[in-house]
Chain A
């Protein structure tokens, strides 16, 4: 059943509230402020509540079903994270409070910085950036500040593999650099020959995602780091795919100089509508002084606490803000998305070091299980053991008229969120699938069964795919018309 628009259930004169009689003289609003072209809907409270509750029930979310959106790491977000973030001691603090009165908050932020340092191998971490691409921008600005601090002004180019996230060239452009695309080779690694040809003293750095957006671990990552460093550039790590390698390898040890973390991917905090993201940045000794700030530091407290005997055995610390010495500055008001940091901290504490490693192992295992069930059915342009995700092509040999968009729409009829489609750009008709570690074998099998059945249908009944979805709240939307002639208001 189609849910009507709020304007369609509006009835003239109907109201959700009865205002008490006015006890002051009525003064009409000045005429120039009244808009006759603004027809506000008039509905009763119960109709209003039902309308929005019904709309909320049409939502698809990690809490309602499998969400294999490639490169987004749509893992289940444990509810204990929300409980922790709601604790009164956190909720009732304000960023303008003096540090003495929020030692608990500062302790948590310090600990989270330390955890991220341990996971990544970097020397220092800033929790400032509010999202992944915000973290990328921070990293690129740090690279620029580093070169400029050395009086090296001729570096104007950032090298970016064609298997990178689209945010990489965007962040680079925002930071004032020119983007240079580096091709992938036949195994999906960075093409070393092409990279060598571009390495000179105009290179500011290279932005590498490892594993990359094909879900493949670049086998030459150390050689790439060497080439970039030898020409005086720095290696940026896009940490969006960190879920594949936690506890197994530290990005700093692979040669990365700076990297962002996506707390809303790897560390189970909600994406988008569930709350803001967070994109902390980690850096090695060379780039640490340029981190955005302030960051949290601790100091040993010398004097003994008053009389509590238990405290005497422990070292006492005072936590406070500090701006890194050559910081690129603040990227955001206050100190990052603190409530998101609480959730990521909770997640890390709940799992511990061994648990985090198991997360990555299971993320990779789940992806390879799905891949092994699907690779005979859909073309696999880069046929290798994958990491946490893999990229199939929706170009089925026996069904030339069927496109990836049709397969994705049909998947909705099976109750699944479609994977990322048409990305990465180097795979035509891409289907980018990331199951994450939180899914059971039964869920993975149900998803594989659906995709296998859809591949069958593509041959025997392609029309079923072209007109899909059939069971979603709305049928196939005209995305082309919506993009060419967007109507962005519902007023008559």
Chain B
């Protein structure tokens, strides 16, 4: 590991992580992975359980060192570990309230004593927790607990932050808020790795890397990943993940020549094409 320039890319080349399977046979958790992340980039990392995405997420956060082969140059992310937000709030909240949590996280970073208070307030503001900052965990919802963990992770303004399936136990409303908060952190300059199994979280024209069996099977544009190209099967099916309702519908409509590429992904794009099927009158109510 060398190089520490803020504008240098993070590069994984020929990385394998050895592991063993049920029968004691050699079974790599990651196999010959090549991946590059640019400073300030947003990367979706998708794959089913056991595809190696958790190993990958920890590796990108700078935590995984055992049984590692190949080279990892963390570039802009620096030598020290990057914060990682996990699925279960219970494993990653150490304080008793959002404010205490953020303060605990900041105490371990090299900051001037005076700036901790201001930084704490800032992180709480960014996650929308200012008003709830002093409530105990029992009074917060699952989504708010995740926001507190995000606030604690984002408070130290690291160049990279990893979200490992943080929305898997959240309802749609909480999921949206958590996603928007991550996007806010991204806009403020941090690179974001968003690990998920739920393909309906993916936004088009972003980059997605799909893992299956420890290998990267796709690295490219989300729309291409979801829908493939005309005449070709969707690539997301080969990742083993469940294809969401709307993506299936879009591909079926394409097959019946009712829709042409580029197929819709976002709500706005769907609203536009819905005009064809449902008439302008009905779509107007949704905008």
Chains A and B bind each other: no
Give the interface of B toward A (CB within 8 A).
Answer: none
Chain A positions near chain B (C-beta within 8 angstroms): none
